Chain A
Amino acid sequence: MEIKDSLLYTPSHEWLKKENGSGIVGITDYAQNQLGDIVFIEMPEVGKTYAKGESFGSIESVKAVSDLYAPVDFEVVQVNDTLSSSPELVNKDPYGQGWMLKIKIKDDSQVNQLLKSEDYKKSISS
């Protein structure tokens, strides 16, 4: 199970890569492995805003459907459109080609509340 030190995490298994005031969001290797073969991903529209903890989309595998939750307050800047035709990219490369959103972070202070890799690791092994 890969957990990248350079990323921040939520207890609901999203990751955030912070780049100045913007960020990239996806789901973790652990999450994709729990879901199994992903068949559908529902993504939001560019320009929409979400509050921390709000559902911004959903991800569905044969086994289950799960909501995707906003790690911080954000506005959608770009959506990875490739995922609608190739959702398996989330299984194959969850931290790379399987990225979901590029976002504008609304409240920088919330970033500090996210889990660091060590803490996320503990949360999934407990």
Chain B
Amino acid sequence: MPVYYSSIKEETLAVRQTCGIFDVSHMGNILIQGEEAQSFCDFMITNSISDKKENQIIYSPLCTPEGGIVDDILVYKFNTRKLLLIVNASNKGKDFKWLNDHSSGFQVSLEDQSDRFSLLAVQGPESSSILKKNLALDLDDLDYYTFKKTGANPDCLISRTGYTGERGYELLVENSLAVPLWEKILKSSGCVPCGLGARDILRLEAAFPLYGQELSFTINPFESNLSRFVRLEKDNFLGKTALMKFKENHKNTRIGFTMVLNKIARQDSLIYAEDDQKEIGWVSSGTFSFNLGKSIGMGFINKNEIKSEIFQIKISDKFYRAQKVKMPFIKSNVKE
């Protein structure tokens, strides 16, 4: 996936206004099958899959026993004996080993299918009309965070998911079908190929966390504002004891900000209090939002040090003012 095809700006605007297509085949996918596939999955994730119906999808962190985050993933539920995990590219090897290392005692088999499948994300307000027109797909019954089969192969799927905050779909297909599919979708005017640059801005405008920036072994889900994906009432799962403590007591919280002056605050810049210049946190992601015409970012601040909506960020030895704002930065249109 290149950083951009035409321009980061044009691609970012296209997804909010019409439609963009992303080749996200670098993402990993791991199949869990067997008698205890569902109970194994529920033991590994912090969210709950057993109370979901077939063809539903959930988002969940995968946590260590200490409550740190191994990865954030999507779980596709075919049925109680077959589940598919979509995982971050940079974590796929680590995740597969993590799952394998914890699978003894469960009747499950795990398969890393990452090398066999490609994933195309079609995102934007016109994504459904473009897919209907070019692929003759019936999408009317496909609700947000559900999936269904496309075509003859039972493992080729379309899901109403994405990483942009816009209405959109993701198509999981065998590698040999990916290029023809990409070309078929792009036949329509109004759909533009988009790269990593646009993907990062769009997910940041939607305030979606990115592993390695808003999520890591040293950040727990409560610090990253993911409490709604942690189901502490579940019987037993990896990290439960630690997470119960973190729920009551965690040090930092994820915040969104816009810069007062024309400057981008980039990852790892330090955040200081407005008045006494005490260090209170760090920037996890920062960019320029072409849709808002503003420099935006996310970061982590010590909860006890939030005394003002204004703070300062140090960028190459100078202090710049930033304003704390509500997330997401743009209204979510995923269900529209």
Contacts and interface: CB of A to CB of B under 8 A. Distances in A.
Interface of A: 36-37, 39-40, 42, 60, 62-63, 65, 84, 88
Which 7 interchain pairs have the tightest Cβ spacing?
A40-B262, A39-B288, A37-B9, A37-B8, A62-B8, A37-B7, A62-B288
A39 B264 contact: yes
A66 to B, nearest CB: 11
B262 A42 contact: yes
Nearest to B264: A60
Nearest to B11: A37
B262 A62 contact: no
Given A36-B197, A39-B288, A65 B264 contact: yes
Contacts of B3: 36, 63
B287 A62 contact: yes
Nearest to A67: B316
Contacts of A65: 264, 316
Q: How large is the interface on B (under 10, 10 to 19, 20 to 34, 35 or more residues)?
A: 10 to 19
B263 interface: yes
B5 to A, nearest CB: 12
A63 to B, nearest CB: 7
B315 to A, nearest CB: 8
A36 B264 contact: no
Contacts of B182: none
Given A40-B262, A62-B264, 6 more contacts: A36-B3, A36-B197, A40-B288, A62-B197, A63-B3, A88-B9
Interface string B277-310: 0000000000110100001000000000000000
Contacts of A42: 262
Contacts of B262: 39-40, 42, 60, 84
Contacts of B8: 36-37, 62-63
A76 to B, nearest CB: 19
A64 to B, nearest CB: 9
A60 B201 contact: no
A40 B260 CA distance: 13
B4 interface: yes
Given A36-B7, A37-B9, A62 B201 contact: yes
A46 B263 CA distance: 21
Contacts of B290: 37
A37 B9 CA distance: 6
B312 to A, nearest CB: 18
B259 to A, nearest CB: 10
Contacts of B9: 37, 88
